[in-house]
Amino acid sequence: MVDKLTPERRSANMARIASKNTKPEMIVRRMAHAMGYRYRLHRRDLPGKPDLVFPSRRAIIFVHGCFWHRHPDPSCKDATLPKSRRDYWVPKIARNEERDQQHIESLTAEGWRVLVIWECETTADNLADRLRDFLD
């Protein structure tokens, strides 16, 4: 299958994808704050620059995009790989998965508890319960 966009247009689209302050991240941040939890953002001194860091609780939350971090849930429609340029996308996404796992293992070894919230899970009814269970 051939990409429907020109290489220039595809490049422009990809350049606009944010790594911080994404909509799913903002949903989790607002919910955690409304529940009374206070946190630090994107600490560069920790592996993976976690999205939310709760230092006093030794807890970290990553909010992962389903496409970029390859959500393993088979029912997630956002985690499908593109049909074009698979020789590019397969290793790229695989490397993201490996790096995510390395970050989680490093953080766990340092005594942090880690929760990954996937983009598609930010609309789930039980998100507040998951946050409370993890942070309490």
Confidence band of 13 (pLDDT split at 50, 70, 90):
low
**Apex 52 CA angle, 48 and 56, nearest 5:** 110
Count of beta carbons in the 10 Å neighbourhood of residue 25 = 24
Query: What's the average model confidence in pLDDT over 71-88?
Result: 86
> pLDDT tens across 24-68, in order?
999 999 999 999 999 999 999 999 999 999 999 999 999 999 988
119 domain residue, yes or no: yes
Question: Sign of dihedral through CA atoms 95, 97, 99, 105?
Answer: negative
Confirm whether 51 is domain-assigned.
yes
Arithmetic mean of pLDDT, 107-128: 94
Number of domains in the chain: 1
The confidence score (pLDDT) of residue 84 equals 80
The pLDDT assigned to 117 comes to 97
Q: For the whole model, what pTM was predicted? A: 0.85
**For 2, left (φ over 0), alpha (ψ -120 to 50), or beta?**
beta
Write the CATH number for 131. 3.40.960.10
Q: What pLDDT is attached to residue 89?
A: 85
User: 53 to each of 31, 42, 56, 112, how far by Cα in Å?
Assistant: 14, 8, 9, 10
Domain, as residue range, for 75: 18-85+112-135
Assigned domain for 5 exists: no
SS3 category, 44: coil
Per the prediction, the chain carries an average pLDDT of: 89
CA dist 130 to 89, 125, 135, 136, Å?
A: 32, 10, 9, 10
| pLDDT for the residue numbered 68 | 84
Q: What's the pLDDT at 37?
A: 96
Q: Is the pLDDT of residue 18 over 60?
A: no
Is the Cα torsion angle 37, 40, 41, 43 positive or negative in sign? negative
Q: pLDDT above 90 covers what percent of the chain?
A: 65
97 domain residue, yes or no? no
Structural domain contains residue 35:
yes
% the chain with pLDDT above 70: 88
- Structure tokens of 129? 């319960």
Q: Please indicate, yes or no, if residue 105 is contained in any of the structural domains.
A: no
**Strand order from edge to edge, sheet including 113-118:** 40-41, 52-54, 59-64, 113-118
* 120 belongs to a structural domain: yes
Domain-located, residue 90: no
